[in-house]
């Protein structure tokens, strides 16, 4: 009887032990699942769509770049700008599991959330900035293309914003162009600020502005600057706007950011000049652009190259500042051409087509 009791007690202990281990296993599993689903402050970058700047917008079926007021020439092949898409962000954060999965994916890059969404900025503010950067990039691209064809655009200072509580608030609007200060013509922001330096706080100044294509005059009483009571201000943030001899419309939908500048410029240049810049090849690329044609580095070069290769590109234009990174991660079969300037990119493509002359490479 004693032996039987001991065996019975051991059986109960074994049962409790098994039950305990089972509960622990379930708890570990629950914690593992919860941990995997836990949001992390990272963003996953992946190849985004590419669009042919000398072709049609795939959504609207209309030319991506339309030019009015100048003769244009037919263009063949592709001059695609490239983009980077992302998953994650403050509104839809990545889970730990997704971050780890994408970290193991060669086509993706997992980066800190602040890379795209800086602290103290809302998602809406970031998206608005991206939209403005795209708009500025398009304007600068037109200017750079015109400079490359020998037609330098003029400029006019335009209101970007009016500061609350200062004289321009409620009087001047974003987009207003300031043509003159007290009859003195102003073609740049520096010209406006130079004229305003002649005034003391409390004096009235008359501005000639153009709003929605119509000229009008407005009078403002200057106020003391917040940081210097002796300096007169009207309370506007100005930026130079280009005035083009032709109308160029670029339609890319809701894509934002400045990194398509080089490819926009090349597309516009190709349409405005005789001949074929691509030679029928599928060329893609990236890079910011300045009016004088300098090409700037960008982010997400690896994802952009992958997106270009998947779309069919055989040649990729790389900003000089991204060359080392691009050479280390270039997909097989994609020729990298280094682009330091707009003029250099044009000549490289012409040489690539003719088979003569230098074609700078990121691997050299």
Give catalytic residue positions.
259, 304
Contact between residue 75 and residue 55 where contact means Cβ atoms under 8 Å apart: no
Backbone angles phi, psi at 343, to 5 degrees: -60, -40
> Burial code of 5-39, b = ≥16 C-beta within 10 A, e = fewer?
eeeeeeeeeeeeeeeeeeeeeeeeeeeeeeeeeee
Q: What angle do CA 189, 191, 193 make, to 5 degrees?
A: 70
Beta strand pairing status for 315-319 and 282-285?
Answer: parallel
Contact between residue 239 and residue 157 where contact means Cβ atoms under 8 Å apart: yes
Backbone angles phi, psi at 124, to 5 degrees: -65, -40
Contact between residue 325 and residue 345 where contact means Cβ atoms under 8 Å apart: no
Q: How far apart are the C-alpha atoms of 276 and 345, rounded to whole Å?
A: 14
């Amino acid at each position: 009887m004693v032996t039987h009791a001991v065996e019975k007690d051991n059986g109960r202990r074994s049962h409790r032990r098994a039950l305990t281990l089972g509960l622990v296993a379930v708890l570990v599993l629950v914690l593992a699942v919860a941990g995997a689903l836990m949001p992390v402050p990272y963003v996953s970058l992946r190849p985004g769509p590419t669009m042919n700047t000398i072709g049609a917008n795939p959504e609207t079926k209309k030319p991506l770049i339309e030019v009015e007021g100048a003769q244009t020439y037919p263009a063949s092949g592709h001059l695609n700008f490239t983009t980077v898409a992302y998953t994650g962000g403050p509104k839809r954060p990545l889970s730990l599991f997704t971050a780890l999965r994408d970290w193991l994916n060669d086509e993706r890059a997992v980066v800190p959330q602040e890379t795209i969404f800086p602290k103290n900025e809302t998602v809406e503010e970031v998206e608005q900035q991206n939209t403005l950067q795209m708009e500025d990039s398009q304007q600068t691209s037109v200017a750079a293309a015109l400079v490359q064809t020998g037609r330098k655009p003029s400029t006019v200072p335009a209101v970007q914003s009016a500061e609350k509580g200062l004289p321009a608030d409620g009087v001047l609007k974003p987009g207003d162009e300031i043509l003159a200060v007290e009859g003195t013509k102003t073609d740049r922001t520096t010209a406006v600020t130079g004229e305003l330096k002649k005034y003391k706080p409390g004096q009235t100044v008359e501005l000639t502005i153009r709003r929605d294509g119509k000229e009008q005059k407005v009078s403002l009483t200057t106020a003391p600057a917040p940081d210097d009571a002796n300096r007169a201000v009207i309370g506007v943030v100005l930026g130079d706007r280009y005035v083009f001899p032709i109308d160029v419309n670029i339609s890319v939908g809701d894509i934002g950011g400045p990194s398509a500048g080089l490819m926009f410029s090349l597309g516009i240049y190709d349409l405005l000049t005789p001949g074929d810049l691509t030679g029928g090849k599928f060329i893609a690329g990236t890079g910011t652009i300045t009016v004088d044609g300098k090409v700037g580095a960008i982010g997400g070069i690896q994802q952009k190259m992958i997106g270009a290769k998947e779309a069919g590109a055989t040649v990729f234009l790389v900003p000089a500042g991204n060359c080392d990174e691009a050479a280390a991660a270039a997909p097989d079969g994609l020729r990298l051409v280094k682009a330091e300037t707009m003029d250099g990119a044009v000549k490289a493509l012409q040489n690539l087509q003719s088979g003569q002359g230098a074609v700078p490479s990121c691997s050299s």
